[in-house]
Structure 1
């Protein structure tokens, strides 16, 4: 568990696939806010879900088109799931040794998502928003039925 991170459930049961997902359905680090939101909307994620989920970038190392910055964190506090990502990204102020996706900066500044982005500076509000949005992820692109519901395995990993 990452310090300050949300508590989320873990579900399993998606059918494995050997086929890679369509490249044009994933957000690129250089996409516009409109494209990023549209791609997520096709997966039934609303703008507020996208903004909340983007903070996952706070705890990952990015892989960028520029090899010199590949593997660098996106925040000054890697390993801690705080909300500094929202402040730093909105200010386009990458800490020395950290890199931001231009698509994140675009979503931070976009008139539709800017108020949501600013609201995420509240750690508790962000945790609740992330937990809510994260619950949608296990069933994206699934056609759940009574025979094929995802299995909640949260107790096994807590």
Structure 2
């Protein structure tokens, strides 16, 4: 299905109506779900939380990153050229890990890919489902993280996503916007999704300083990321030595010691097509939370037929 720019909320409503029951189903241990097929996700939840250690740590960050990298592997443009454009949020990054992990854009996802694969295989859930479920759980583990709706029932991926569909931090704004818009996301939704950087860290652009956060409150889902990126910085295409530090391709000098600034974030914060949304998110925690949740829910449906899925959002507290 080619997901156009219509409301995610309408998709969620369709799926919820299709799978809702008149009364909750008992899943045991005092847990309930809207339908019996959602009960298995409580078992998955327990294992995911054991993996995350119930924290907003490295594995949780990786799970959030994996959800985007899997879902963005979707190109109606390629489909229109009679080429395979990827299945979107279909779990291909797990099912065809040998192929997709060879893409440099997916560097660093190996550990979370195989950890989630083990859990999915244990409970017989699809790879596409566990990727989006784990991401929604990871967000809730972070202080300030909103609830993300979760629809289950994605079919297995049929083929690896084509290489080159994941935007890179050294791409131009034109290239990044064209890529996400081809996948079915608006420029505003992209900016909202970048709220994930508020709890993320960089590991592989500059491997001499792994674990460097994108703002000074790592592990907290807050607006500091958006405000910090608006502060002055400068770009040196690199690596180039200057003023006692080295900047790497894709990096901008951050105004605070201990922060890492991506060139793409710096550029998106200032581009006339995205600057207004960027500034608005930097000034409103509630807007950042709500728009991120909506954009994540939409992203999780890229390439999917929402009418065949069922709502298990209540499993995630």
Partner of 1:100: 261
- Partner of 2:300, secondary structure, is helix
Correspondent of 2:311 among 127, 152, 157: 152
Correspondent of 1:38 among 157, 175, 178: 178
TM-score normalized by the length of structure 1 = 0.87
| Contact 1:11-1:151 at 8 Å conserved across structures | yes
Does the alignment pair 1:128 with 2:268? Answer: no
Distance 1:83 1:12 in 2: 30
Cα 1:99–1:21 change in 2 (3 A) is farther
Q: What aligned pairs does 1:4-153 form with structure 2 within 5 A after superposition?
A: 4-17=144-157, 19-91=159-231, 92=233, 93-121=254-282, 122-142=284-304, 144=305, 146=307, 149-153=308-312
Distance 2:315 2:291 in 1: 24
Larger Rg: 2
Judging by fraction of residues, say which structure has more helix: 2
Distance 2:306 2:213 in 1: 39
Q: Residue 62 of structure 1: CA displacement? A: 2.0
Q: Residue 86 of structure 1: CA displacement? A: 0.5
Cα 1:106–1:145 change in 2 (3 A) is closer
Q: Residue 46 of structure 1: CA displacement? A: 0.5
Distance 1:71 1:23 in 2: 26
Q: Residue 49 of structure 1: CA displacement? A: 0.4
| Contact 1:138-1:150 at 8 Å conserved across structures | no
TM-score normalized by the length of structure 2 = 0.46
| Contact 1:13-1:151 at 8 Å conserved across structures | yes
How many residues were matched structurally?
155
The farther-off stretch of 58-67 and 132-141 is 58-67
Q: Residue 11 of structure 1: CA displacement? A: 2.3
Higher relative contact order (CA 8 A, sep 6+): 1
* Alignment RMSD: 1.9
Unaligned runs of 5+ in 2: 1-139, 234-253
Q: Residue 47 of structure 1: CA displacement? A: 0.8
| Contact 1:58-1:75 at 8 Å conserved across structures | yes
Cα 1:126–1:66 change in 2 (3 A) is same
Cα 1:38–1:63 change in 2 (3 A) is farther
Q: Residue 20 of structure 1: CA displacement? A: 4.2
Q: Residue 19 of structure 1: CA displacement? A: 4.7
| Contact 1:69-1:99 at 8 Å conserved across structures | no
Cα 1:136–1:55 change in 2 (3 A) is same
